[in-house]
């Protein structure tokens, strides 16, 4: 509905309200005073000319009294019986100048005719305008079948705004070139991919890539979510798909981007409605539009998902989504570039080192890095600073990883002691096991759901995990529980997440990664979540004997790691006690302090060192750590023949 129609509708509605108000006013408002019919004789005999009734008009059962000037001053309720007629005749003969009349039942006032007439007209006008609005000016009774795609013809995002994925940019550059100059490809008989599927973990920039392609090619960008196609009404999703492609044909060359396509592109035959599922009808229409009888030259469909495993195979064949681009988590160079991109509009302190920052954010996605800088900016604003410094960036990393500090939480001395020994156990084993990442920070300050934490920092972005490294990780993870067993002679609930982690790793070592000699090189599990419909009838493809063997092997890995952790921490009992004391006193220690404790330095010397270092690290917490090396060495020169670090 346009602006003029809206104005007209409001005017009509105002007129209807006004007429209704006039009707109600004339119906219920009366300028006269109500009296009893028996009181009329007194009013007729009144000597006051203004209050004396000279005429009574009988209007059905209402008796209206008027004075000599014709002013309506009194009214009474009665009936047209013999009593009232006799009284009126009696008063006529008794009081000179008095008379009475009857109203014509067929006569009516001006408003009694005008208001119903105009009321009918206004109701018809309002009804017409409402119908026009629901139709959207078209021939459809409802607008459900219209596409909900948002169109942007002026995308500002460019490839320069997407950092840390140079290979992905190179693959998508061909699409940009085709959209800019399609004749160059058609002359050689080349067929540009009709669809490009962006696959990767959440937060890696899949949607940003699609916008960058549209921005580089300077073509219209139709964006819609997969869930926007799905409705409870039959046929609506398929109709929206047709409407989307019809609109795109009018603007070609262009890009259609479907975010979270797994909402509509799941494998067929897996829904509760079977082949007649509304979602499946929508998918069928999408398949036809992408590669059916109609040609859609100049239209490139881009989609994003993090569950490519559940997509229908027909959707992934050549002619539809014939190219898949995997957008992985950025490496250290990629993280550095992403940090620089997101810091363009933020006032950063001159001593901020993005290289060190990138080293300390291993495993962060692009969204995590953006959130890190945003959290740092919020912390700087909270402290009334004009620049974002290293102190805020460091706290932002910890906030993203483990949550905000909760220093105000009341912690008993007993809990503090247990937490100190628990985290000290983790830190010592991380230091002793050669394949574990270096210890970055150990703290007993509650963060998020954790009572304390031991943070390790990888020196490089390793894509593979060896069997020895996994065993070391299991051993280090059990360090907290073992420390409680050695010192407190009891166990508590604080190791629940650690036990869950070691169980998961150990089971995957046996069932998925072929790291058990007894089970062999056979996989018995899947890393993917259960997909309703495809996996609802799935069952174990192995016998009960094999299941028992798997359980035994999982227990064996954990028990061996537990025994190893117990042996190492027992040997390092003095270091365990000193680290726990230092944590209780200082609450947080860092890499240098851990190394000094492992080397047997006395607590007095460590405290002096921390006091000196704390002044320098007040505004730059990164000074607490040594600069990370460019590459992690494959062999540890300080390791003995058993794989343990010399000490």
Which residues in 515-552 are b (16+ Cβ under 10 Å) and which e?
bbeebeeeebeeeeeeeebeeeeeeeeeeeeeeebbee
C-alpha to C-alpha distance for 390 and 385, rounded to whole angstroms: 12
* Two tokens, residue 449: 């759901």
Q: How many residues does the chain have?
A: 647
C-alpha to C-alpha distance for 620 and 641, rounded to whole angstroms: 39
Catalytic annotation present for 423: yes
* Two tokens, residue 611: 């006091």
* Two tokens, residue 354: 């993005």
Which residues in 217-252 are b (16+ Cβ under 10 Å) and which e?
bebbbbbbbbebbebeeeebbbbbbeebbebbeebe
Distance (Å) of CA 120 to CA 14, 201, 344, 369, 530: 15, 62, 64, 64, 62
Q: Point out the catalytic residue in the list 423, 485, 553, 644.
A: 423
Distance (Å) of CA 577 to CA 23, 453, 501, 602, 646: 92, 17, 26, 12, 20
Bridge partners (DSSP) listed for residue 256: 222, 301
C-alpha to C-alpha distance for 602 and 52, rounded to whole angstroms: 117
C-alpha to C-alpha distance for 405 and 403, rounded to whole angstroms: 7
How would you write 33-47 as a 3-class SS string? EECCHHHHHHHHCCC
Bridge partners (DSSP) listed for residue 455: 441
C-alpha to C-alpha distance for 194 and 316, rounded to whole angstroms: 11
365 and 207 Cβ atoms separated by less than 8 Å: no
Closest CA to 477 of 457, 461, 496: 496
* CA angle (239, 244, 247) in 5-degree steps: 125
135 and 141 Cβ atoms separated by less than 8 Å: yes
Which strand (E) or helix (H) includes residue 359?
helix 354-359
Helix, strand, or coil (residue 449): coil
What sign has the CA pseudo-torsion 200, 202, 204, 207? positive
Which strand (E) or helix (H) includes residue 280?
helix 278-290
What sign has the CA pseudo-torsion 118, 123, 124, 126? positive
Catalytic residues: 423
């Amino acid at each position: 509905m346009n602006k003029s129609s809206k104005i007209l509708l409001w005017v009509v509605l105002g007129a209807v309200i006004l007429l209704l108000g006039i009707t109600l006013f004339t119906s219920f408002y009366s300028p006269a005073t109500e009296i009893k019919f028996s009181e009329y004789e007194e009013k007729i005999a009144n000597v006051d000319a203004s209050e004396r009734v000279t005429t009574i008009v009988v209007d059905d059962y209402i008796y209206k009294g008027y004075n000599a000037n014709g002013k309506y001053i009194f009214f009474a309720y009665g009936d047209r019986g013999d009593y009232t007629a006799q009284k009126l005749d009696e008063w006529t003969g008794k009081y000179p100048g008095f008379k009475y009349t009857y109203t014509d039942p067929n006569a009516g006032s001006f408003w009694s005719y005008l208001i119903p007439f105009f009321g009918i007209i206004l109701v018809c006008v309002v009804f017409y305008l409402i119908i026009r609005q629901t139709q959207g000016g078209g021939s459809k009774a409802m607008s459900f079948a219209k596409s909900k795609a948002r169109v942007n013809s002026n995308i500002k995002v460019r490839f320069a705004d997407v950092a840390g994925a140079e290979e992905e940019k190179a693959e998508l550059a061909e699409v940009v070139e085709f959209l800019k100059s399609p004749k160059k490809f058609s002359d050689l008989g080349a067929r540009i991919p009709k669809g490009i599927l962006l696959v990767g973990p959440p937060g890696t920039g899949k949607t940003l890539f699609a916008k960058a392609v549209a921005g580089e090619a300077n073509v219209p960008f139709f964006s819609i979510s997969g869930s926007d196609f799905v409705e409870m009404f039959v046929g609506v999703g398929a109709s929206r798909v047709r409407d989307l492609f019809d609109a795109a044909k009018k603007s070609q060359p262009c890009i259609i981007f479907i975010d979270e396509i797994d909402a509509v592109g799941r494998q067929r035959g897996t829904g509760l409605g079977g082949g007649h599922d509304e979602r499946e009808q929508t998918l069928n229409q999408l398949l036809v539009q992408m590669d059916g009888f109609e040609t859609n030259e100049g239209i490139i469909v881009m989609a994003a998902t993090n569950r490519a495993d559940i997509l229908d195979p027909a959707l992934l064949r050549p002619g539809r989504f014939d190219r898949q681009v995997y957008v992985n988590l950025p490496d250290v160079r990629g993280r550095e570039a992403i940090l620089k991109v997101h810091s363009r509009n933020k006032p950063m302190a001159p001593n901020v080192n993005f290289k060190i920052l990138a080293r300390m954010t291993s495993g962060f996605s692009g969204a995590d890095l953006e959130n890190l800088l945003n959290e740092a900016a919020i912390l700087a604003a909270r402290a009334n600073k004009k620049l974002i410094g290293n102190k805020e960036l460091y706290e932002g990393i910890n906030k993203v990883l483990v949550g905000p500090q909760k220093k105000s939480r009341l912690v008993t001395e007993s809990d503090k002691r247990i937490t100190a020994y628990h985290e000290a156990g983790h830190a010592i084993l991380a230091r002793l096991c050669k394949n574990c990442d270096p210890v970055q920070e150990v703290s007993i300050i509650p963060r998020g759901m954790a009572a304390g934490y031991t943070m390790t920092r990888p020196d490089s972005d390793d894509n593979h995990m060896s069997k020895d490294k996994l065993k070391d990780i299991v051993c280090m993870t059990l360090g907290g529980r073992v420390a409680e067993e050695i010192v407190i002679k009891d166990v508590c609930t604080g190791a629940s997440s650690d036990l869950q982690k070691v169980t998961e790793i150990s089971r995957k070592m046996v069932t998925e990664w072929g790291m058990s000699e007894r089970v062999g090189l056979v996989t018995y599990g899947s890393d993917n979540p259960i997909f309703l419909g495809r996996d609802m009838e799935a069952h174990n493809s192995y016998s009960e004997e094999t299941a028992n063997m798997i359980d035994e092997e999982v227990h064996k890995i954990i028990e061996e790691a537990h025994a190893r952790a117990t042996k190492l921490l027992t040997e390092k009992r003095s270091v365990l006690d000193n680290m726990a004391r230092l944590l209780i006193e200082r609450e947080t220690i860092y890499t240098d302090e851990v190394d000094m404790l492992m080397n047997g330095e006395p607590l007095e010397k460590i405290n002096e060192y921390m006091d000196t270092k704390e002044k320098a690290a007040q505004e730059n917490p990164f000074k607490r750590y040594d600069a990370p090396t460019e590459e992690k060495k494959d062999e540890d020169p300080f390791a003995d023949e058993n794989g343990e670090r010399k000490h």
